[in-house]
């Protein structure tokens, strides 16, 4: 009989809801991926590199040309200079980057603070390193950090805090003032930080994305994680990166080289070419996805769901209290999929303890206009 190292982990809700969408023929607004393809020029660049024979191992830290393009993007976006050789590591996806960062610094008995609702990969990664997660609930209305709860959660065993901004599933954004407050709170403690910023370029209504990269004090103890898949509409390529000070990058790379060694070579070549030729892609992303958000929300205005338009990510939370308050959010997600043909994600699965009386499901609007219109029609008919 196998004694599981992750006895509380099963198949993720994202996989289950996507499978249910296939089985029922429902529109899949559950798992966070576009139903449209990445830029043609990017796909052409990858194909060209495959045909040119760039199909063997890349350097463990990532293709130099791609790391240089990431450094250039960071300089343009945040006015910050990072060293492409010593501070940027290309990984097969942001989830792997997070895993490697946790394994690099967390030891048996360490505590890691996570903010609920939180991405489901954090806790298993901590448990595999021998640590344990301490869950701090975000504000139920605005999903902001409760600073009193955070301070109470700190202990001599606290070794890491994991931030996520823009926040999945709520889209909430961390402000510069909040980063300053966090820096002051942990200034005299030996605590590392992971800043999960995979939706960094999906911020709306003229608001800025405030990156830990641009906070000199916090960056010195941070692993900042991002995703080419989210930024370039190619989530299936599973390519991401992590930016960290040289000493932390050394420790991260020690783990990374024995998890995957390197990322997929022709994808890195193609991304480097596309980033060099089309820096405007990143600049256009907020307007591109805000148009989808606004279309979807405008269409849902006549529904019985209530919501506040998300300030970031490509997810929209909707409250179904006026429709089926008798159902838990998990049951509601199943009901919506089976009975009304729209797959969603229940917010409670992101939490250690579901918030009492909260009735929220998450819908992904990274979809073609016709998909959003069809989904909204089904939701408005409820």
Here the CATH number for the domain that contains residue 150 is 3.40.640.10
Contact (Cβ atoms closer than 8 angstroms) between residue 199 and residue 119: no
Confidence of residue 197 (pLDDT cuts 50, 70, 90): very high
Q: Are residues 216 and 97 in the same domain?
A: yes
Q: Which of 278, 306, 328 is the last residue of a domain?
A: 278
Co-location of 285 and 270 in the same domain:
no
Say yes or no to pLDDT of 354 above 90: no
Q: Are residues 322 and 240 in the same domain?
A: no
Confirm whether 4 is domain-assigned: no
Q: What is the pLDDT of residues 40-80, one digit of tens each?
A: 999 999 999 999 999 999 999 999 999 999 999 999 999 99
* Same domain assignment for residues 303 and 271: no
pLDDT digits (tens, 9 = 90+) for 95-154: 999 999 999 999 999 999 999 999 999 999 999 999 999 999 999 889 999 999 999 999
Sheet holding 240-243, edge to edge: 88-91, 240-243, 222-227, 192-196, 158-164, 111-116, 132-137
- Tell me the average pLDDT of the chain: 97
Average pLDDT over residues 332-340: 96
Task: Decide which of 244, 278, 312 is a domain's last residue.
Answer: 278
- Residue 8: inside a domain: no
Model confidence at 156, pLDDT cuts 50, 70, 90, reads very high
Q: Is the pLDDT of residue 357 over 90?
A: no
Clarify whether residues 23 and 115 are in a common domain.
no
Provide the residue range defining the domain that includes 74: 40-278
Q: Is 131 left (phi over 0), alpha (psi -120 to 50) or beta?
A: beta
Q: Is residue 302 part of a domain?
A: yes
- Whole-prediction pTM: 0.97
pLDDT given at position 192:
98
Residue 54 lies in a domain: yes
pLDDT digits (tens, 9 = 90+) for 171-188: 999 999 999 999 999 999
Residue 184 and residue 198 in one domain: yes
Note the residue count of the chain: 382
**Residue 356: predicted pLDDT:** 84
Q: Say whether both 334 and 361 belong to one domain.
A: yes
């Amino acid at each position: 009989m196998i004694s599981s190292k992750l006895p509380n982990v099963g198949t993720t809700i994202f996989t289950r809801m996507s499978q249910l969408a296939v089985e029922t023929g429902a529109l899949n607004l559950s798992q966070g991926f576009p139903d449209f393809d990445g830029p043609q020029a990017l796909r052409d660049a990858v194909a060209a590199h495959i045909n040119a024979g760039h199909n063997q191992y890349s350097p463990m830290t990532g293709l130099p040309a791609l790391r240089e393009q990431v450094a250039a993007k960071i300089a343009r976006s945040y006015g910050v200079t990072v060293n492409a050789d010593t501070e940027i590591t290309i990984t097969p996806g942001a989830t792997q980057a997070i895993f490697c960062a946790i394994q690099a610094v967390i030891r048996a008995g360490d505590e890691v603070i996570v903010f609920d609702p939180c991405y489901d990969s954090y806790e298993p990664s901590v448990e595999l390193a021998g640590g344990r997660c301490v869950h701090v609930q975000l504000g139920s209305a605005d999903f902001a950090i409760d600073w009193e709860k955070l301070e109470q959660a700190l202990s001599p065993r606290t070794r890491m805090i994991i931030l996520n901004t823009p926040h999945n599933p709520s889209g909430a954004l961390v402000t510069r003032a909040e980063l300053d407050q966090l820096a002051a709170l942990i200034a005299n403690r030996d605590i590392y930080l992971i800043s999960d910023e995979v939706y960094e370029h999906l911020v709306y209504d003229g608001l800025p994305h405030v990156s830990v990269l641009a906070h000199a004090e916090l960056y010195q103890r941070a692993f900042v994680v991002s995703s080419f898949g989210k930024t370039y509409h190619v989530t299936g390529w599973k390519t991401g990166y992590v930016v960290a000070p040289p000493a932390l990058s050394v420790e991260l790379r020690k783990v990374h080289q024995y998890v995957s060694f390197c990322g997929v070579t022709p994808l890195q070549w193609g991304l480097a070419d596309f980033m060099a030729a089309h820096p405007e892609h990143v600049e256009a992303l907020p307007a591109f996805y805000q148009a989808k958000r606004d279309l979807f929300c405008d269409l849902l205005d006549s529904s019985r769901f209530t919501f506040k338009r998300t300030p970031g990510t490509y997810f929209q939370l909707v409250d179904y209290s006026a429709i089926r308050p008798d159902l838990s959010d998990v049951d509601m997600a199943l009901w919506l999929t089976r009975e009304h043909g729209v797959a969603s994600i229940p917010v409670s699965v992101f939490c250690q303890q579901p918030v009492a009386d909260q009735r929220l499901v998450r819908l992904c609007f990274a979809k073609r206009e016709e998909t959003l219109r069809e989904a909204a029609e089904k939701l408005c008919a409820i």
